[in-house]
């Protein structure tokens, strides 16, 4: 067993299976005969629930199995061969998808960012450097909310991006692998429906917020809707038993389960953060979502590692490093308390 029972993992938000409601719904619907490839009743139900939540019956919604799949399909469906996508250096598509975007033929233009977010200024620098047919033509802006380092976009920041994009013939795509955590952050100031009015296309991450698998691609811009299922099929994203994604998302958005799960994840992260701050430690970056990046002396990290699994994010100096702690819908409060007690004990011993 890689994660033996003595070690509790804060490595990521996909360490456990699915929320029990979802498994129950899968069992309840299991024997019903349904059409394949997403044309089943459950997928239709999930779409309707999401459209209602978005207050937008014209939103096109497609359920796929994972985030890299969602990203490569959405991006390649939009771009002409010579067009590129702009992303922050920390953007998931830039480093952590094994060149999935480039494999569909497109360049990722990178903007260096301290907080994982893009701004109109950063985008403008890319536009200014791409002036003629000897260079790619930037056409799409890729952002993540929450970002890969735990930060979130405020409503006015998204509005500024939308406005800039509209005036510069750019489209805006939001990767919502951890959208639940962003929207349930204490800093957040917009609803899912409001957010959906500020982008051309985005996806709602299920995998990292209680589903077994699954992300819901939401296309708002009419021009991006046409023949989207052809793209899905061509990239291997149409599951024969698409019903499983329908059941998952219908359950996740019935009675706000999605948001309840995200709130729990954030609360667990806050609980960790609060104590860590109280003990006098600093953070690589301030985060109000389910990923936090505290900085500890290396010897403390070693001791913590005995009973807890997590990633070392980066070295700060010779003596200390930032680690990443990720919480989720499944994180147990007693595990968080266990981590806190362990940390306190270590600090006291010194």
Which 265-324 residues touch a second copy, going by CB under 8 A? none
The only residue of 124, 166, 241, 319 in contact with a second copy, by rule CB under 8 A:
241
CA dihedral 104, 108, 114, 115 (to 10 degrees): -40
255: left (phi over 0), alpha (psi -120 to 50) or beta: left
Residues 43-72 that bind a second copy (CB under 8 A): 65-72
Q: Work out how close the CB of 159 gets to a second copy at its nearest, in angstroms, rounded to a whole number.
A: 29
Number of chain residues interacting with a second copy (CB under 8 A):
84
Considering the complex, state which of residue 70 and residue 198 has its C-beta at the smaller distance from a second copy.
70
Helices 257-278 and 243-253: crossing angle in degrees, nearest 10, is 60
Tokens of 81: 């061969």
| 289 close to 152: Cβ distance less than 8 angstroms | yes
Considering the complex, state which of residue 117 and residue 231 has its C-beta at the smaller distance from a second copy.
231
Tell me, residue by residue from 107 to 136, as one string, x for binding to a second copy by CB under 8 A and - for no binding.
xx-x------------------x---xxxx
The only residue of 16, 52, 255, 274 in contact with a second copy, by rule CB under 8 A:
16
> How far apart (Å, rounded) are the C-alpha atoms in residues 252 and 241?
18
Tell me, residue by residue from 70 to 109, as one string, x for binding to a second copy by CB under 8 A and - for no binding.
xxxx--xx--xxx-x----------xxxxxx-xxxxxxx-
Spatial CA neighbour of 78 closest among 177, 201, 197: 201
Question: Contact between 15 and a second copy (CB under 8 A)?
Answer: yes
Question: Contact between 350 and a second copy (CB under 8 A)?
Answer: no
> How far apart (Å, rounded) are the C-alpha atoms in residues 257 and 167?
37
Tokens of 245: 């994604």
Residues 135-154 that bind a second copy (CB under 8 A): 135-137
């Amino acid at each position: 067993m890689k994660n033996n029972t003595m070690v509790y993992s804060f490595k990521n938000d996909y360490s456990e299976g699915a929320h029990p409601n979802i498994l129950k719904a899968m069992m309840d619907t299991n024997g019903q005969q349904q059409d394949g490839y997403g044309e089943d009743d459950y997928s239709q139900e999930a779409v309707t629930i999401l459209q209602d939540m978005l207050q937008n019956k014209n939103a096109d919604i497609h359920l796929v199995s994972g985030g890299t799949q969602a990203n490569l399909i959405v991006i390649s469906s939009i771009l002409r061969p010579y067009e590129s996508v702009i992303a922050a250096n920390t953007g998931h598509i830039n480093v952590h998808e094994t060149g999935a975007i480039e494999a569909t033929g497109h360049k990722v233009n990178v903007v260096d960012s301290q907080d994982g977010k893009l701004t109109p200024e950063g985008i403008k620098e890319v536009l200014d450097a791409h002036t003629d047919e000897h260079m790619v033509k930037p056409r799409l802006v890729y952002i993540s909310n929450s970002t890969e380092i735990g930060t979130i976009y405020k409503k006015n920041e998204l509005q500024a991006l939308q406005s800039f994009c509209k005036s510069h013939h750019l489209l805006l795509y939001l990767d919502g692998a951890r959208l639940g955590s962003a929207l349930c952050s204490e800093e957040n100031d917009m609803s899912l429906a409001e957010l959906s009015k500020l982008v051309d296309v985005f996806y709602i991450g299920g995998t990292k917020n209680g589903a077994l698998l699954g992300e819901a691609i939401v296309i708002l811009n009419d021009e991006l809707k046409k023949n989207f299922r052809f793209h899905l099929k061509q990239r291997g994203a149409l599951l024969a038993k698409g019903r499983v994604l329908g059941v998952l998302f219908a359950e996740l958005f019935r009675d706000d389960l999605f948001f309840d799960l995200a709130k729990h994840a954030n609360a667990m992260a806050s609980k960790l953060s609060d104590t860590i701050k109280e003990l006098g430690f600093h953070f690589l970056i301030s985060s109000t979502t389910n990923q936090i990046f505290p900085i500890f002396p290396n010897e403390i990290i070693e001791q913590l590692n005995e009973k807890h699994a997590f990633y070392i994010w980066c070295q700060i100096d010779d003596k200390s490093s930032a680690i990443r702690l990720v919480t989720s819908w499944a994180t147990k409060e007693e595990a968080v308390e266990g981590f806190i007690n362990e940390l306190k004990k270590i600090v006291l011993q010194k």
